[in-house]
Structure 1
């Protein structure tokens, strides 16, 4: 039986920070067959190859289907549009056959060329797509992305991609990559219709995918609505009519709307509802928790000379009391980090960070002195609309009390503005780099975050030794051996500490009692095709 608290807004349980919250109430106004989902403005227009953050990818996953898909229960990999993905013995050459009969939302067919043209467009450097580096292992990528600044690539086609027939294409890689099939469910690998290439700007205003839902409408900074695509050829067809993604500036406000019946899904329960398991009392059967592929970190802008010394970065890491913060702020629901990889992912190795992720005030002070101290104010920057204020304040307080330097939490109003600043390299202090795996592999916590020039390496970390370790892992003959080699690459990060691991977290999502069946995935998303509604009460 679900219990509800409708009388009052939530109070933050600790004095480290106070969030202004608003109580929701009344009818949401959404039609009966529309499910409403908590959301935030994405960083970029909704093009798969240019969408590498969570808000945008939530919509991409509704509008598009990939070659493979990930189980909402355990993130295991299954074919979606792919009939088969056949590797060569050395995992350097792949033959991909797609299922016939699939169409985009405009009725045009999805063909092998739909994938090849989309991948070429994303990989071509002058197009400036954030997901371009996902194709760096394909032969010809270097020609599309010359090192000389301002140089024009000699071609806009990846030489490693060949269309064989309407349902078959081949991929030749620069070097073996055993986990390549696992990667192919990520949004950067989605196909694109011909209409995109004819009118990219028009597509941005009205995306056309091949997934279970089609784009219907959008009001910027307010909502985006998708509706069921009845021509969807996948096995998991949508059972509801529409999904409305609603923009919230405060996670607490979204949670109150959930509790009061004005919202159907919250991706993350706010910390104000964790103390005393308030959220379980509020939501009853709608409180869902499962292991997640999620980590929370703080990064250094290594393009700022003040943060170049690794001893300074290690000192700050060792000044953070993770055990106390996770216990007091998150009611023990987070696990203090001992490395850069989530414990729930296959291939995780404990204690990769070693002493540098252990709270040690004396050693932290010694390292700070060795680094020559820190002058001025040290900022911790995060978006203010994602429920990060309390823990950011607590981390700032721990560093300040331990090292005796001025540390302040500086919120950026919205996630989209925060991401714009990250991409523009505008940060003058440490900044939040929470991460949700792109696909279920230890590699997803490493390559795109720490390889030189990678898509989410917003701090400009570069270490040739680390890059070479990734190359060795990519070339492993089996996935278990690849996992061992990726773990060896992870250990190199402890030498440099470009990013401070804070904690890993489970998925703690909230569902309304309108939903008869619904699943939060290990990627902290609502599995939209599993959602069904309870019969309407007379």
Structure 2
């Protein structure tokens, strides 16, 4: 069953009044996964992955390697179906009382894998931990809208109030029309009490409440893989139809693809660029090539020499216009990528390719040279321009093509700067010791325009790797998320992007399809709106 070129019509921002009805369905309306939840213990599904950057703490994981594992081990208040629609998981009901107040009731009798019952307090404690300034959690930004949040000092989230063991309320410090839609993201997962005894040790051996759990001591072999088995106490809509999940951390996508062809891997969500020309003929109806909510870019921090102030703005524009995105997507990616015209994704409701200023993303050799010369008048260019990337992610070909385009257009030295692993690259990015531009991108946490903008470019946002700050952008973003009309909200998000097109805190490159495949021994394989396979519904023949 080949899946090509699907679209996600109608998936977007939900108005406050609709959230209680359409945004978070009752548990009786959960999606039919097509399985009984009786997972065959012998039917372990093997999949590709990457070593997590950090210990597996939900509020400190904002990259795909760790996120894939956390999503398997934990259950949030809601989940996301293949088309991006939401369904209740731990939640029994989420009601939006008004644009700033929500009431959450969770299902009774749910357990963590250590036997502790999941209660409202587990959510409140976990969110307060994630929001505390001194804990320096990468996803603390996701609690910014809750009353009591502070970036500057330790402050309790006073907007969280427990009503009883299974009910709590959320008071926001400003309207956030998509807040209920966010609650399936990993930052909002609950934590058992034992996590707070030694949070670092917990991150190495996490105890969740989701469909899968660690397969005993030593289940996580760093830089090798992680083994998960079915959690027999999970009682929710994602009951596994298999016996577990073995995620292998590959040093290269080519190795993973060869394992898929050799029946040593069941599911692969990243075909290497070297196989783009033949993977569909290799795999036949087991090949997957479909749009996904993934955006690719690279970031140049303002702190780097030549990239601050007016000079930096001119150089970013010049570099952007020096990149022949169409040629790169045609030659390197062979129809699996589309040149970007904004900072979001065409599969998200509200996307447009008609933003004012988007011409800065067009290849324009003469204008690029002109802008670079203007920057040289402020301070003559020196050194070599480099883009850092992780060598284990299949990025070398496009990085080489991109820097060659820059080199040939601007007449400067330009090259790629490889790091062996994703974790090593991200470590340099997050501790701000990296001294070059670096590849960035976004796989959406939930299907809304705001998710591509707020976490990456808002002042102090946890994934704002370039430390960008713009009062104009922040204002438009705030107005957009406060709007209760979806059309008005999307209009404001589009205006906010027009500010980004002037400043280019990241240089948009292309939108990605999820390009993957699966082996002969599995069935019921489906890739979701955000490119991640729905592992729980996969069966082994």
Q: TM-score over 0.5 for the alignment?
A: yes
Superposed counterparts of 1:269-418, under 5 Å: 269-275=271-277, 278-308=278-308, 309-352=312-355, 353-372=357-376, 373-418=380-425
Deviations for 1:178-202, whole angstroms, at most 9, x for unmatched residues?
Answer: 0001110000000000110123233
Per-residue deviation at 1:527? 0.9
Equivalent residue for 2:264, pick from 262, 267, 284? 262
Residue of structure 1 aligned with 2:101, choices 84, 90, 93: 93
Q: Is the 8 A contact 2:73 2:208 kept in 1?
A: yes
Kindly provide the CA deviation profile for residues 231-281 of structure 1, in whole angstroms up to 9, marking residues without a partner as x.
111022011112111111111111011111111111111111112xx1111
SS of 1:521's partner is coil
Unmatched tracts of structure 2, length 5 or more: 3-40
Whether 2:77 is the aligned partner of 1:67: answer: yes
Shift of 1:481: 2.3
Matched, 1:55 2:65: yes
After TM superposition, the structure 1 = structure 2 runs for residues 96-495 of structure 1, keeping only pairs within 5 Å, are 96-142=104-150, 145-146=151-152, 153=154, 155=155, 157-216=156-215, 217-275=219-277, 278-308=278-308, 309-352=312-355, 353-372=357-376, 373-495=380-502
CA distance in 1, matches of 2:381, 2:272: 33
Q: Choose the corresponding residue for 2:529, options 522, 526, 532.
A: 522
1:362–1:338 distance in 2 versus 1, CA, 3 Å: same
Would the aligned equivalents of 2:273 and 2:332 in 1 still touch at CA under 8 Å?
yes
Aligned alpha-carbon RMSD (Å): 1.4
After superposition, give the CA deviation of every residue in 1:17-71 in whole Å (9 maximum; x if it has no partner).
xxxxxxxxxxxxxx95111111111110001011110000000000001111111
Contact 1:379 1:428 in 2 (8 A): no
TM-superposed CA distance for 1:510, in Å, is: 1.3
Deviates more, 1:44-53 or 1:304-313: 304-313
For the 8 Å contact 1:257–1:263, the answer to whether it is kept is: yes
Which residue number in structure 1 is paired with residue 31 of structure 2?
A: none
1:78 aligns with 2:87: yes
* Deviation digits for residues 405-442 of structure 1 (CA, Å, limit 9, x no counterpart): 00011111100001001101122221100211111111
Residues 471-519 of structure 1 deviation map (CA, whole Å, 9 limit, x = unaligned)? 1011102233222211111111011011110000111111111102111
Superposed CA deviations along residues 329-385 of structure 1, whole A, max 9, x for unmatched, are: 011221111111111111111133521000000000000011115211000110000
8 A contact 1:507–1:522 mirrored in 2:
no
The alignment partner of 1:310 has SS state of helix
For residues 147-184 of structure 1, what are the alpha-carbon distances to aligned partners after superposition, in whole Å with 9 as ceiling and x for unaligned?
A: xxxxx53x4x2111100001110111110000001110
419-428 vs 49-58, greater mean Cα deviation: 419-428
TM-score (norm 1): 0.90
Q: In structure 1, how many angstroms separate the alpha carbons of the residues matched to 2:238 and 2:126?
A: 24
Distance 1:336 1:236 in 2: 35
Do the aligned residues in 2 keep the contact of 1:178 with 1:476 (CA within 8 Å)? yes
TM-score (norm 2): 0.89
Q: Distance in 1 between matches of 2:396 and 2:325?
A: 16
State the alpha-carbon separation in 2 of the partners of residues 370 and 526 from structure 1: 47
Verify the 8 A CA contact 2:261 2:519 in the aligned structure 1.
Answer: yes
Number of residue-to-residue matches in the alignment: 493
Q: Given the alignment of the two structures, is residue 502 of structure 1 paired with residue 509 of structure 2, yes or no?
A: yes
Task: Note the alpha carbon deviations across 1:443-472, whole angstroms, 9 max, x for none.
Answer: 111001000110111111111110111110
Q: Matched residues in 2 for 1:55 and 1:350: separation?
A: 30
**2:51 matched to 1:44?**
no
Q: CA contact under 8 A between 1:226 and 1:244: conserved in structure 2?
A: yes
Contact 2:49 2:249 in 1 (8 A): yes
